[in-house]
Amino acid sequence: MRTTRPRRAAVLATTALATTALLLTGCSSSAKSGSDGSSSAAGGEKITLTVGDFGTFGYKEAGLYDAYMAAHPNITIKYDTTQDGQKYWDALTTHLASGSGLADIQAVEVGYIAQAAGTLGDKFTDLGKADGVSAGAWLPWKSKQATTANGALIGLGTDIGPMAVCYRKDLFQQAGLPTDRESVGKLWQGDWSKFVEAGKTYQAKAPAGTFFTDSASGLFNAALSSEKDQYSDASGKLVYKDSAGVKKAWDIAVSASQAKISAGLRQFQDNWNAAFTNAKFATVVCPSWMTGIISKYSGDSGKGKWDIAQAPVASNWGGAFLTVPKAGKHQKEAAALAAWLTAPEQQAKVFTKVGNLPSTTAGLQLPAVQSAKLDYFGDTPTGQIYATTAQSILPAAIGENDGTVKTIITDNGILDIEQHGTDPAKAWSNVNKLIADKVNG
């Protein structure tokens, strides 16, 4: 779950305000404020719960807020969505630091959940003991990611991101590639480097102005997600430099960029969104949550033209959690809402609406998920494809700095190679320098 766009002004404004507030108060009053419990609304008192998230969580789209408000007449839900997940997180950390400006429920992306459960652990309430939550409902590795060293469950899993590859049948046909999802999957089965090879075949006969895939960074994320060794080791120590997985994914992304099979876009940005509308690329690595983005930006012109094939290697990319910051005023009610939103039935509704795959074991089994077909993708058995992949995911260890490292590698490393033709060795040494600068304060 992530994405980009507008609301920049809003985010910037809030950040600026928070910044000013921090500077003015000399950054001193922040740590403890608002953490000493919360008043809970008694009986029928009217309260407003706020939800902050990023990208497309699908709660509004699936009508869940309205349903909840109808069932709880004393509760009004307000929500604020930032498109760019990175900006969302930057703003959220600032708000957590100052203990103000926080929504009652804040979503956290999987790349940052280790940080939330680690350094920031004591700023969130323990949801493991909240009403309506049974910690065993989620896939075991999903809950483990949001559990602190003391055993507190600070985040309730929303979705997971088992991966596939979404491709445009019309462009594949014009480039002389097969179009049915079985044969397409076989093109690259078993190895991401075969995906790059298929890209070269495509590019040789590609319709003018189109590229095989959207971005080398997306490819990097995809290839890395299928590796067991990622940025950090099991103890949370950063080992990205010697990680075989990072090396492999980097090489694949670089080879894609050098073969010019990528459109060189930054994912979740305006031009990337526009490129969906203009059919500028033929494939996008496609965790289940990405299907919602595709249908949103490809619009009517792309309807029926997209299909979904198996990824070269099964893996998970993304997924998020709902947390309840201690600074919130209505922690009890917020926890209840978060528990309800992440319950299997609601997760299934979100899946059928925007494609975010349930992270609860019961949710994955629901017929509504198993037999789901996303309207936008025609007769593609979406639910079956993703739910099957979900079973074979081998979760990797994630550390506190994974999100930061990922952003630097993709935004300052690979994007730089794509946009400026920087020598990969130089780009990699830049990445190392930046990470040393950003991580080891």
Kind of pairing, strands 155-168 and 281-287? antiparallel
DSSP 169-205: HHHHHHTT---SHHHHHHHTTT-HHHHHHHHHHHHHT
Give CA separation, 434 vs 79, 408, 409, 430, in Å.
Answer: 35, 7, 9, 6
Report the residue number, 27 or 204, with the smaller CB distance to another protein.
Answer: 27
**Min dist. Cβ of residue 161 to another protein (A):** 19
**Min dist. Cβ of residue 52 to another protein (A):** 17
**Min dist. Cβ of residue 245 to another protein (A):** 23
Please list, residue by residue across 298-337, b when 16 or more beta carbons sit within 10 angstroms of its beta carbon and e when fewer do: beeebeebbbbbbbbbbbbbbbbbbbbbbbbbbbbbbbbb
Report the residue number, 248 or 266, with the smaller CB distance to another protein.
Answer: 266
Report the residue number, 8 or 186, with the smaller CB distance to another protein.
Answer: 8
**Min dist. Cβ of residue 440 to another protein (A):** 9
For 239, the enclosing helix (H) or strand (E) is: none
Report the residue number, 125 or 215, with the smaller CB distance to another protein.
Answer: 215
Nearest one of 410, 441, 412, 404 to 111, comparing CA atoms: 404
Report the residue number, 137 or 219, with the smaller CB distance to another protein.
Answer: 219
**Min dist. Cβ of residue 334 to another protein (A):** 21
Rounded-to-integer distance, Cα 150 and Cα 168, Å: 47
DSSP state of 9: H
**Min dist. Cβ of residue 325 to another protein (A):** 13
Report the residue number, 367 or 441, with the smaller CB distance to another protein.
Answer: 441
DSSP state of 207: P
**Min dist. Cβ of residue 94 to another protein (A):** 6
Report the residue number, 119 or 392, with the smaller CB distance to another protein.
Answer: 119
**Min dist. Cβ of residue 192 to another protein (A):** 23
Beta strands in 84-169 (DSSP E): 105-109, 155-168
Report the residue number, 255 or 407, with the smaller CB distance to another protein.
Answer: 407
Please list, residue by residue across 363-390, b when 16 or more beta carbons sit within 10 angstroms of its beta carbon and e when fewer do: bbebebbeebebebbeebbbbebbbbbb
**Min dist. Cβ of residue 149 to another protein (A):** 16
Q: Which stretches of the chain bind another protein, using CB under 8 A? A: 4, 6, 8-9, 12-13, 15, 19, 23-24, 26-28, 30-31, 84, 86-87, 90, 93-94, 96-97, 119-120, 266, 268-271, 274, 404, 411-412, 415-416, 419-420, 422, 433-434, 437-439, 441
Report the residue number, 21 or 362, with the smaller CB distance to another protein.
Answer: 21
Q: Which tokens in the block code for residue 69?
A: 């408000």
Rounded-to-integer distance, Cα 312 and Cα 190, Å: 5
Nearest one of 151, 104, 154 to 125, comparing CA atoms: 154
Residue type, 77: I
**Min dist. Cβ of residue 408 to another protein (A):** 8
Report the residue number, 285 or 408, with the smaller CB distance to another protein.
Answer: 408
Q: Identify the three-state secondary structure at position 157.
A: strand
As a dihedral over the C-alpha atoms of residue 293, residue 321, residue 390, residue 272, rounded to 10 degrees, the angle is 20
